[in-house]
Amino acid sequence: MATQSQPQPQADGNLYDVEQVRREAKESMLKGAVTADYPLDLQRAHQLMNEALAAEILCVLRYRHHQIVAKGIDFPQVAAQFAEHADDEQRHMMAIAERIDELGGDPDFNPSTVTARASTEYGTSDVLSRMIEEDLVAERVVIEIYRRLVRWFGNDDPTSRRMFEKILEDEEEHANDLSDLLAAVDPRSEPSR
C-alpha cells in the first residue's frame, strides 16, 4: 500500500503527468519553492522553524555576551570558543530564516517575543564555569529538539531535514567542546568514574 509520500503511477504507468505539473507550477508561481505536492502542514512547519530561529537568536546573544565577559575574566581561549560558537549560531539563524522564507513563511525576528518562543534561555551568570554550563545546557536542549525536527521533516521535506541535520551536527560539536571546556575550567564538574 502506498503512503502519501509515495506517489501513485498514472494510468499510463508514468510517475507524473508533466502537463498537470506545469499547470500547477504556473498557477502557484508566487509560492516560491512550495509546490502543490508539499505534504506537510506549512503553518506548523513555519511555527517549528520560528521556534528554532528564536533559540538560535538567543544563542547568538548569549554567546556574544559570554565572549565579552570571558575576556574580562582573562580567559582568551574560552572567549575565542564563545566567539566561534556565536558565529556558527549566526549561520544557523540565517539558514533557518532563509528556509522559512523559501517555504512562504515570515521569519520572526521580533525581539519582544524571542524569549517566549525560544527553547533556550539567555542566562545571567558572570562566573565562567556557570557561563559554560548555561551554554552547554542550551546546546543539549537544541540537540534534543533538532533530532525531533529531523524526524518530523523526514522524507516529506528533505531540504529542511538536511538543514537541521547539519545544524544538529554543529550543536553536538559545540556540546562536546563545552563539556571539555567545563572540565578544564572547573575540574569539579567532571563526572565521577
CATH code: domain of residue 121: 1.20.1260.10
Domain assignment present for 98: yes
Domain assignment present for 21: no
* Of 24-38, 42-56, 74-88, 172-186, minimum mean pLDDT range: 24-38
Domain assignment present for 10: no
Taking alpha carbons only, the member of 65, 47, 49 closest to residue 167 is 49
Domain assignment present for 193: no
What the block records as the C-alpha cell of 58 is 538567543
Domain assignment present for 32: no
pLDDT band at 22 (very low <50, low <70, confident <90, very high): confident
* Of 118-127, 138-147, 161-170, 171-180, minimum mean pLDDT range: 118-127
Domain assignment present for 12: no
Give the CA angle between residues 7, 5, 165 to the nearest 5°.
140
Give pTM, 2 decimals. Answer: 0.83
Domain assignment present for 2: no
DSSP state of 30: G
Taking alpha carbons only, the member of 98, 63, 90 closest to residue 79 is 63
Q: Collapsing DSSP states into helix, strand and coil, what is residue 70?
A: helix
Contact between 134 and 59 (Cβ < 8 Å): no
Domain assignment present for 39: no
Q: Quick one: 141 exposed, middle or buried, by C-beta within 10 A (0-12, 13-18, 19+)?
A: middle
Q: Quick one: 177 exposed, middle or buried, by C-beta within 10 A (0-12, 13-18, 19+)?
A: middle
Q: Structural domain tally of the chain?
A: 1
Predicted pLDDT of residue 99: 97
User: Can you give the residue range of the structural domain that contains 177?
Assistant: 45-188
